A = this chain, B = another copy of it.
Amino acid sequence: MQEISKPFDFLNSSINKNVLVLMKGNLRIRGKLKAFDVHMNIVLEDAEKLNEDDTVSQKFGKVIVRGDTIILVSP
């Protein structure tokens, strides 16, 4: 019996974990996933915007990221 979870189950299992978010326009943000909705809008805590070389470019507290700007999310 095959056990296939849906993409949003995967996001759900990443709640309270650190994730890397690749966004359109070469923007990359790292932070702790706190919430998401069906549009893939997500809330990150201790979010950091990254430079090309993975150093931190800007620190945010919490951020809400619009789902339609997201390319991929990886824990």
Contacts and interface: CB of A to CB of B under 8 A. Distances in A.
A50 interface: no
A71 B69 contact: yes
Given A2-B15, A24-B25, A25-B24, A7 B71 contact: no
A3 to B, nearest CB: 10
B66 A70 contact: yes
Contacts of A40: 41, 66
Interface string A21-35: 001110101000011
A9 B25 contact: no
A52 to B, nearest CB: 12
A65 B72 contact: yes
